[in-house]
Structure 1
Amino acid sequence: MVGTGLKQNLFAVARPDKGRIGVAALDLSTGQSVSILGDQSFPMASTSKIAIAATFLAGVDKGIYRLDSKYPLMIPVASRAFSTSVAPVKPGMELSARSLIEMMITRSDNAATDAMLKAVGGPAEVTKWLRAHGFQKTRIDRDIATLVRDDGEFDPATTVDVRDSTPPEEMVKLVAGLYQGQWLSQSSRDVVIGAMTRTVTGRGRIKAGLPTGTSFGHKTGTLNNTASDVGFVKLPDGRVIAMAIYVTGQGGRPQRDARIAEITRTLYSGFANPRIAASATNDNTRAR
């Protein structure tokens, strides 16, 4: 790899010349971190489903909801883009909250996500939960049906749309906090973290950048001209790295996936090498 430290190596593979790239990573054992554009907003796409699940599970811990309660899938009804402020949906088959969370995380099922989003009271309630726990910029403004229907209004490679967005550093804080058992009971924590280890989407992203057999969990996101993957990765010595990678542009989806894999490979190698990892800090002074 080029350079003498993780930060330099990361800058080499997260170049912004073909579209904005935001990266943040944190060693949960040492507190060492690294980021590129980590404080800038990027489209969450389906990585927002982690926050939606956490909001519902926090309600379970308070006795407001139950994991065995059933809710209907929210099925999109065909409508023209931007024709209404909220895309129309219709109720479908009823499933338990536990099953819906499993579907929304492992398979990124949108109808299941909107079922959970409706259960907690809508996007504003998720943002409210986030603000209550110190997330100042991460926000959810639309349900998934509306987000998907109206996708493409802006090019995320050149335009920052703060709706339904997060800075990579805040997403890393969310993943790390959930993994470490903040905000949720152990049983609720295990629901979302366990589901992340069973995710089947994004085989060419974080998974493709890790050595075979590596223990990890993640959640992908995909929208117009943007791809993302966020999660946690266990190193051979037992340390866990939380990471969030948001990529725009690059020429197409295969190129975005490949860039996420390359960034993952760089983060894994860097944090696994103590000499390289020693250079990791929170630094957003370059590649703005």
Structure 2
Amino acid sequence: MSLQEKLEAVLSESSATFGVVVKHLETQEEAQINSNDYFQMASTFKVPILATLFRDVSEGRLSLEQRIRLTEDDLVPGSGVLQEFLPGAEVAVKDLAMLMIIVSDNLGTDKVLELVGTERVEAFMKELGLAHISIRNSCWELLSIGGGLGGEKKGLEGFHKLKQKFQTSGIDADSVIFQPIPENNVATPADMGKLLELIATGQLVSQEACDSILDIMKRQQLRNRIPYLLPDKTIIACKSGTIGSVVNDVGIVYLPEGKGAFTIAAFSHGNHSTKEGERMIARLTLTAYEHFAHSEE
């Protein structure tokens, strides 16, 4: 069976809608499913932000050593640890970026996004030829709109109000944020896959910048999707994302015995549970891993 057929067979067992692109970087063998459809990125949008940050650092616009003071006005609920810090903590830009990726820190993400500029992230994607990666909302905006509190002001009061909303009613499944349109934080699996390929092959900004991005992504601590079913020592650089029924993960998987590496961008919506989506992404990744690892030389 071809890789395409194998992935389609796995997905036939899911009632959710998936968009998947898998590509072996050395042989260029590729499989695509709904690859040109828009999907809500959820926290995978932090990869384009990270890419833009290192572009700005390489141009001297920002410094990774610069320290940013966090206040109550920066609080964002959801994933991460910085919301638990006492107000007044000063965190280096590199540490904000690290936490943004490895524990998907929403507060850290929004601080990095403030530094690089939302519009500049999308503009950089367009410069790279990735016209179908669209970023319009910060984590705060995404969560507040999705929670039915769009326009709620950031700060301690808004933070507690939004946290309470999530505890009682959660994300509105009919929210505008889930519409597959460029006015949201959306991407096609094809363009996200291309961004991963640029990073993996050292073609984004510089080899040094790519090495730094990969170093951060390889430290990922949320490992229940792309990495979950792979052999324990497999090297993986990835970033997951979840909001409502959206369950995503994107990354680069390094194969053993000189077999190269492959990119995978897996987006989905309509999952009955987060675990259901996670298991499907793990199975898709394992299918690709075994296909490439066992292919003939």
TM category, shorter: 0.7 to 0.9
Q: Structure 2 matches for 1:1-288, cutoff 5 A?
A: 4-15=1-12, 18-73=15-70, 75-76=74-75, 93-121=89-117, 123-151=118-146, 152=172, 154=174, 160-162=180-182, 163-201=184-222, 203-238=223-258, 239-274=260-295
Q: Distance in 1 between matches of 2:261 and 2:209?
A: 20
> 5+ residue gaps in structure 2?
78-86, 147-171
Partner of 1:84: none
Residue 149 of structure 2 aligns with which residue? Answer: none
Deviation at 1:13, TM superposition (A): 1.2
- Offset of residue 16 of structure 1: 8.2
Asked if the contact 1:217/1:232 (under 8 Å) is kept, the reply is: yes
Moved over 4 A (4+): none
Deviation at 1:77, TM superposition (A): 6.7
The TM-score normalised by the length of structure 2 is 0.81
Mapped contact 1:102–1:195 kept (Cα < 8 A) = yes
Identity %: 30
What residue is the counterpart of 1:88 in the other structure?
none
Larger helix share, 1 or 2: 2
* Structure 1 counterpart of 2:233, one-letter code: G
SS at match of 1:209: coil
Count of residue correspondences: 258
Secondary structure of 1:274's counterpart equals coil
For 1:39 and 1:209, the matched residues in 2 are separated by 27
Distance 1:21 1:77 in 2: 29
The answer as to whether partners of 1:101 and 1:192 remain within 8 angstroms in 2 is no
Q: Please list every run of 5 or more consecutive structure 1 residues that lacks an aligned counterpart in the other structure.
A: 79-90, 278-288
How far off is 1:210 after superposition?
A: 1.1
Give a deviation string over 1:178-204, Cα, whole Å, max 9, x none: 121112233322221111111111x32
> 1:72–1:50: structure 2 CA closer, same or farther, 3 Å change rule?
farther
**AA partner of residue 22 (structure 1):** G
User: What letter matches 1:222 in structure 2?
Assistant: T
Which position in structure 2 is the counterpart of 1:81?
A: none
Query: 3-state SS of the aligned residue for 1:227?
Result: strand
Q: One-letter code of the match for 1:14? A: L
The TM-score with structure 1 as length reference comes to 0.83
Q: In the TM superposition, what is the alpha-carbon distance from 1:26 to its structure 2 partner?
A: 1.0
CA deviation string 1:118-150 (max 9, x = no partner): 0012x2110000001100111100111111222
The secondary structure found in structure 1 opposite 2:130 is coil
Give the residue type in structure 1 aligned to 2:44: T
Tell me how large the CA RMSD over aligned residues is. 2.2
**One-letter identity of the residue aligned with 1:219:** K
1:107 and 1:77, CA in 2 relative to 1: closer, same or farther beyond 3 A?
Answer: closer
Amino acid in the other structure paired with 2:208: S
